[in-house]
Structure 1
Amino acid sequence: MHLAELNIGRLFAPVDDPRVKEFMDNLDRVNGLGKRMPGFVWMSEGSGEPGTGNTENSIDGDPQLVFNLTVWEDLPSLEAFVYKTIHAKFMDRKAEWFEVLDQQHFVMWWVEEGHQPTRDEALAVLDDLRKNGPSERAFGWDEIRKKST
C-alpha cells in the first residue's frame, strides 16, 4: 500500500495577486523538489504552466480554494519532504498566504500501489474524517505516527 495525502487551503487573494506572489513564485521549486524526493510516487497537477502548480484545479468553483494531492511510498518519505526540506519553511509561513479554515483540511489514507486518487475521491476521504473522526479509512499525522511507533 502507498500513502495518499490531501491538503486544502484558501488563499487570501487570487493567484495573480501580489499578496500571494511569493507563494506562487515558489510552487514549481517546492513541487519539483517533492517530485525528486525518495519515496515520491505521484502528484495531482494542473496544466503544467509554470508557476501554477495545481491551483487551476480549485474546489467548489472557488479559485482561491486550492489543494495538494500526492501519493508516497510510506510515511517516512512524506515526513522527510514535509519537515526536512525547504517545504517546511514555506509551511511555517502559511499564515502569510492562506486563511485559517474552520474545519479539518488535511487527511491521509492508504491506497493500492499504482492508484492515483481523484480530487473527488480525496475530498470524500476528507469528509469521512470530518464526519467520523480518525479511522483506518481517513487519518491525520497523530494517528499514523501512533501506528508507526
Structure 2
Amino acid sequence: MDYRLIHFNCARPTGEFTYENEFVRVFLSILPRIFGDADSFDGVHWHTHGLRQPDGHWRDLYQAFPYPRGTGAPDVCTMAGWRSLEDMRSFVYSGKTHPAGMRRLQEQLDRSQGPGFVMWWAPRGERFTMEDGWQRLVHLRANGSSNYAFSLDQPIVRPQVA
C-alpha cells in the first residue's frame, strides 16, 4: 500500500472577516497565485479550501462573502495531499509565492486556540472532508503528536509499503 501525506491547516484572522480587514484583503489577493503554484507543483496531488465558522458550519472559500457580521472570524482552512513531507516543506518554505505571502500575514493571526497545522499519512486514494481535517487538528491540540495526527515539530515517518 502506498501512502501520501495529508496536511490540514487553519488561519484565523484577528478582527472581523470583512474587506476592511487587511488580512482578508491581502490573503484573498495572494490566494490565486498560491493556488496556481500549487496546481503546477509536482509534489502536491490535490488541494481544497474552505471557511469554518465559529458555529462549526463550513462555507466554500470562493463563496465567503458576504460573511455574516458579528459571528466572529472563521478559520480559513486548506487541506492537501502531498507525495512526501519533503515536497510539502519545499512548497511551504521555498515556494514561489507561499513563503513571502504567509510571512506578511503572521502578525494578523489569532493563535489562541493552539496549533493551526496538522498532518497524517493516509493510504493513496483515501478521501477526506474538511471536517475530517478539523477533527485531526482538534485531536492534535488535545493530545499532541501521534500516528493519527502529528505536527511539523514532531513528524511521523511514512508507514512502510506493505
Same fold by TM-score greater than 0.5: yes
Percentage identity across paired residues of the two chains? 26
- Corresponding residue for 2:74? 64
**TM-score normalised according to structure 2 size:** 0.74
Are residues 1:136 and 2:130 paired?
no
CA distance in 2, matches of 1:128, 1:64: 19
- Corresponding residue for 1:103? 114
Q: Is the 8 A contact 1:2 1:73 kept in 2?
A: yes
Any gaps of 5 or more consecutive residues in structure 2? 58-71
* Deviation >4 Å, runs of 4+: none
Bigger fraction of residues in helix: 1
Q: Tell me: CA distance 1:102–1:141, structure 2 relative to 1, closer, same or farther (3 Å).
A: same
**Alignment: residue pair count:** 137
Indicate the RMSD between aligned Cα atoms, in angstroms.
Answer: 2.1
**TM-score normalised according to structure 1 size:** 0.80
Are residues 1:79 and 2:89 paired?
yes
Are residues 1:30 and 2:41 paired?
no
- Corresponding residue for 2:129? 118
- Residue type of the partner of 2:86? P
Bigger fraction of residues in strand: 2
Are residues 1:16 and 2:19 paired?
yes
CA distance in 2, matches of 1:31, 1:84: 15
Any gaps of 5 or more consecutive residues in structure 1? 46-53
Q: Specify the structure having the higher radius of gyration (Cα).
A: 2
